[in-house]
Amino acid sequence: MEKLLYVPNPLLRQKSEEIRSVGKNELKLADKMREIMVKAPGVGLAANQIGVLKQIVTISFVDQKTKNEVNYNLFNPKIISYSKEKILMEEGCLSLPEQYAEIERPKIINVQYLNDKNKLISKEVDGVEARILQHEIDHLSGKLFVDYLSSLKRNIIIKKVKKYLKKYDQR
């Protein structure tokens, strides 16, 4: 639980468990996740990316419109609805280092989650924030951004990750 897991680690393909309520252990885990995410550096992290099969996501990015830093944790996040309008954006993943691909996803989502104070939050998000949340919530059900690609492109990326990991001896 101290470091990132990389593809093809099987934990990345497992479904995460819902948490009963947000307590000290969950907050401590979210803090640890944020530390790992910032150090990596990344903009989002799901608990299974560090080997913990719990529905916890942490995000941290700078909103390009407002220039404000956005940092928060989501416990048991669920996407309630998606916009019909989709947008193509480049995505990468801390579990697939140095690999990027254009992925089409809904532009706007409505998300529901428990916050750090165990309060149920529902909100509509768009842009980069919607992109990050869709990506991280996918992780909680064992789905990776490369799953949206053709099998040929996906296999090429996975081979590149394996080669990268051998080079840096991080298996």
What is the domain partition of the chain in residue ranges?
Answer: 10-167
Spatial distance between the Cα atoms of 47 and 11, rounded to a whole number of angstroms: 10
Distances (CA, A) of 78 to 38, 113, 134: 24, 6, 9
Residues 6+ apart with CB under 8 A from 156: none
Q: Taking a C-beta distance cutoff of 8 angstroms, is the pair 92, 99 a contact? A: yes
Determine whether 125 is exposed, middle or buried from the number of CB atoms within 10 Å of its CB (0-12, 13-18, 19+).
middle
Active site residue 104: no
- Per-residue pLDDT averaged across 129-140, rounded? 98
At residue 1, the pLDDT reads 59
pLDDT tens across 68-111, in order? 999 999 999 999 999 999 999 999 999 999 999 999 999 999 99
- Per-residue pLDDT averaged across 134-144, rounded? 98
Spatial distance between the Cα atoms of 95 and 26, rounded to a whole number of angstroms: 22
Tokens encoding 79: 């996407």
Q: Is the pLDDT of residue 65 over 90?
A: no
Q: Is the pLDDT of residue 120 over 80?
A: yes
Of 26, 91, 129, 136, the active-site residue reads 136
Q: Is the pLDDT of residue 171 over 90?
A: no
pLDDT tens across 7-55, in order? 999 999 999 999 999 999 999 999 999 999 999 999 999 999 999 999 9
| CATH architecture label of 10-167 | Alpha-Beta Complex (3.90)
pTM confidence score:
0.94
* DSSP alpha helix (H) spans, the chain: 24-39, 127-140, 151-167
At residue 170, the pLDDT reads 55
At residue 9, the pLDDT reads 95
Instruction: Choose the weakest-confidence range: 44-58, 62-76, 104-118, 144-158.
Output: 62-76
